[in-house]
Structure formats: C-alpha cells, structure tokens
C-alpha cells in the first residue's frame, strides 16, 4: 500500500465540493479499481462509469499478477477470487503485469463480463466476473470493512494522551479510529469535532484514537497545536493503514463494543458531525461483549440551576426540667408550758 505521504498533494489540493480521484487507466500500477482511490471527500463520491473489479494487485513472483486483497462483495469476490491468488491470464490472453489487466477492464467497461485464469496452490481454474461501475471510495471501503472485526493497528508511538495498548484492549468501549496527518487540511477540520466527541461521551464509554504516519516529533507538535483531547500515535511502517485499507485521509472507522466496524467516513463534511454523533449514541446504548447491558447514560453536563436549599436542622429539644420537690411543712412548735404561779410571801 502507498504511504499516506504519497497522497499529500491530493489532500492539499482537494476541495470540499467534490472528490479527487485517480483514474483506473492513468494509475495502472495501483491495482484494479484498488479498494479505493486517492482523494479527500466532502461527501460521498458519485458512482462513475469506470469499470470496477475490486482487486488490489501486485506483481507475481513467477509471472502474472497477485491479488493482494479482494474487496468483500466486489465482482472479483463474487466470482471466487481470493487474497493471494495469482491471475495469469485475462480472456484467454496471458498477462505479466497489472497494467495489462487494468487496460482490459477499461476496454470492456461496466456491466461486461471478464474471464480470469486463476492459479491457487499449484492448480489453475477459470472464473468469470461481471464488472460494475466504480461505486466511489467510501462505498468500496464500507463494503470491504463494515461488519468485519477491526484489525490490529500494530506498533504505534504515542504522541498525545494515553494511547491504548491495542484495539482488542478496547472491547466493551465504542471506538472512533481516525487516520490523519499533520499536513492534511481536512484532518485539521475534523480534529475539533473528535475532541468534542471525546469530551462529550468519554465517560459513557467512547474512546477516540488518532493514527498518522508523521515522524513522532512532528505528530506530537501537530497534536499539541490542534489541542487534541484524545489519544494519538504514529505508525512507522504503514501496517495500520494497510490493515484498514486506508487510501485517503482523513478516514474514520467507528467500532462497536464487540470490536466490529460499524461505519466508515472518508474526508470531511459538516453533515458527518450529526451522523457521527447519532451513531455513537446508538452504539453506546448497545450491550457490550457477552451480552453485558450498556451502562445507563450519564448526563453530559448538568444543567445550571440553583441547588435546593438544605433542609433546616431540627431545633434541639429543650432540656427536661425536673421540678423542685416542695419544702415539707415545718413541724408545729409545741406550746410552751404555762409558768407555774409564784406562791405568795408570808406577812
């Protein structure tokens, strides 16, 4: 897969009114309608009359070309072509390089059938695929990834926040995985929305992770300049971008609590914000792994209101007064005995 740095010109030159795509014939070494085209979208690209087979190609080790990846539900997938198959002939004519297959597909156009001779495990067989009109980058990535388990992102170097150890460590949480780069203008427009989402739903079970292929010091400076409030990391080898089939940036994957990719967004458009917010709310309300019910939603921000006055403390009980016992009545004084009369003196 091409390094994201190879599509910097597309990212910078893109407008928010239309997708920038590389034509099938003009870029034969990329593959046959390879999983997606170079570009940054403001909205879903309209299907074109370009023919699409749905195979990312490489050169075979002993002639022919190798199907490095076959998009799910693509014409090649329906016909039975598998990842790793060698395509050695097209409509009876041997081929040695991917551009020969690309040229034949362009010649035939949509709704036409093409016969491929496929070599698998030493045995060869013919398969017939009906070409479709190119459905657009976002729709192709959606067909290929939605409903599948989110793959490992490999080794990342942290550039901001607390970077989770792996995608599998996030089971039980809803994840927004954003592929971006420091030089990508639309990526910078998406960043504030992702920070707001992390603030709004982080306590309820949302984790936002950003992945770029910038050098670590560049990625760290960009994250700081954008004041991102979610974890970001950089990949050195492109393994994460390749595993997720990223062909344009920004590209976001929304993963549910069970680790399944539920939606894909390519590029930036204001309408994405509402759709992303609604989807996150829906996924947060779903049960987690093993049927564990979702935690009740907590309020995002309590409404400003005057707190109720605390109840008045009850008055302390009055002390019980013990009545003083009445003073007992004094005992009546015994009457004084009358003085005996004095005897008269003799004369």
pLDDT of 40 higher than 80: no
Is the bond preceding residue 250 a cis peptide, omega within 30 degrees?
A: yes
Question: Is residue 344 in some structural domain?
Answer: no
In a domain, 17, yes or no: yes
pLDDT score for 160? 96
pTM > 0.95: yes or no: no
Residue 222 included in any domain: yes
Residue 57 included in any domain: yes
The last residue of a domain, from among 103, 133, 163: 133
- Number of structural domains found in the chain: 2
Q: Which range (34-48, 253-267, 283-297) has the least confidence?
A: 34-48
Residue 292's pLDDT is: 60
Do 129 and 151 sit in the same domain of this protein?
no
pLDDT of amino acid 293: 55
Structural domain includes residue 338: no
Of residues 114 and 289, more confidently modeled: 114
Q: Give the residue-averaged pLDDT of 139-156.
A: 95
Q: Verify that 85 and 157 share a domain, yes or no.
A: no
Confidence of residue 345 (pLDDT cuts 50, 70, 90): very low
- In angstroms, what CA-CA distances link 193 with 46, 210, 238, 298? 25, 13, 25, 20
The enclosing domain of 86 has a CATH number of 2.30.42.10
Do both 204 and 246 map to the same domain? yes
- The answer to the question of residue 53 being in a domain is yes
pLDDT above 80 (res 12): no
Residues 99 and 154 in one domain: no
The CA angle 38-271-146, to the nearest 5 degrees, is 55
Q: Which domain holds residue 79?
A: 4-133
Nearest-angstrom CA–CA distance, 211 and 194: 13
Reported confidence tier of residue 229, pLDDT bands at 50, 70, 90: very high
Q: With 0-12 CB in 10 A as exposed, 13-18 as middle and 19+ as buried, what is 219?
A: buried
Tell me the pLDDT tens digit for each residue of 244-276. 999 999 999 999 999 999 999 999 888 889 999
Statement to judge: residues 125 and 161 lie in one domain: no
2 vs 342, more confident = 342
Q: Are residues 125 and 170 in the same domain?
A: no
Distance between CA 330 and CA 324 in Å, rounded? 17
- Does residue 90 come out as left (phi exceeding 0), alpha (psi in the -120 to 50 range) or beta? beta
Q: Are residues 94 and 223 in the same domain?
A: no
277 and 154 part of one domain? yes
pLDDT of residue 49: 80
Residues 150, 125 share a domain: no
One domain, residues 196 and 84? no
pLDDT (mean) for 165-170: 94
**How do beta strands 231-235 and 206-212 pair?**
parallel
User: Is a pLDDT exceeding 60 seen at residue 9?
Assistant: no
- 197 vs 272, residue with greater confidence: 197
**Mean pLDDT, the chain, as a whole number?**
78
User: Is residue 186 assigned to a domain?
Assistant: yes
- What mean pLDDT comes out for the span 36-63? 65
Last residue of a domain, one of 259, 289, 319: 289
Q: How far apart are CA 141 and CA 261, in angstroms?
A: 11
- Does 90 share its domain with 168? no
Residues of the chain above pLDDT 70, percent:
69
Asked if 108 and 150 sit in the same domain, the reply is: no
Cα distance between residue 167 and residue 175, in whole Å: 9
Q: Select from 133, 155, 180 the last residue of a domain.
A: 133
Q: What is the mean pLDDT of residues 85-93?
A: 95
Residue given tokens 């989807």 in the structure block: 279
């Amino acid at each position: 897969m091409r390094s994201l740095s190879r599509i910097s010109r597309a990212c910078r030159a893109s407008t928010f009114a239309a997708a920038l795509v590389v034509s099938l014939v003009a870029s034969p070494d990329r593959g046959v309608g390879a999983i997606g085209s170079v570009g940054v979208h403001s909205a879903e690209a309209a299907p074109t009359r370009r023919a699409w087979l749905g195979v990312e190609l490489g050169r075979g080790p002993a002639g022919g070309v190798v199907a490095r990846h076959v998009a799910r539900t693509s014409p090649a997938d329906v016909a039975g072509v598998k990842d790793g198959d060698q395509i050695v002939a097209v409509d009876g004519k041997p081929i040695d390089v991917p551009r020969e297959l690309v040229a034949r597909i362009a010649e035939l156009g949509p709704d036409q059938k093409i016969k491929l001779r496929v070599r698998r495990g030493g045995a060869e067989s013919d398969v017939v695929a009906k070409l479709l009109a190119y459905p657009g980058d976002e729709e192709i990535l959606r067909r290929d990834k939605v409903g599948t388990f989110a793959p490992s992102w490999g080794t990342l170097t942290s550039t901001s926040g607390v970077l989770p150890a792996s995608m599998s460590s996030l089971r039980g949480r809803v994840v927004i995985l954003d592929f971006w780069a420091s030089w990508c203008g639309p990526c910078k427009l998406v960043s504030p929305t992702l920070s707001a989402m992390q603030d709004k739903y982080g306590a309820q079970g949302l984790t936002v992770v950003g992945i770029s292929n910038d050098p670590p010091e560049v990625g760290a400076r960009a994250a700081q300049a954008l004041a991102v409030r979610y974890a970001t990391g950089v990949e050195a080898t492109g393994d994460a971008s390749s595993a997720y089939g990223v062909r344009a940036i920004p590209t976001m994957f929304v993963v549910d609590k069970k680790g399944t990719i539920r939606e894909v967004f390519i590029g930036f458009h204001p309408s994405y914000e509402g759709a992303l917010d609604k989807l996150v709310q829906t996924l947060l309300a779903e049960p987690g792994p093993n049927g564990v019910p979702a935690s009740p939603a907590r309020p995002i921000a309590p409404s400003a209101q005057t707190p109720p006055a605390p109840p008045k403390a009850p008055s302390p009980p009055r002390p019980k007064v013990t009545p003083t016992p009445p003073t007992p009545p004094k005992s009546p004084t015994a009457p004084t005995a009358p003085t005996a009369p004095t005897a008269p003196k003799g004369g």
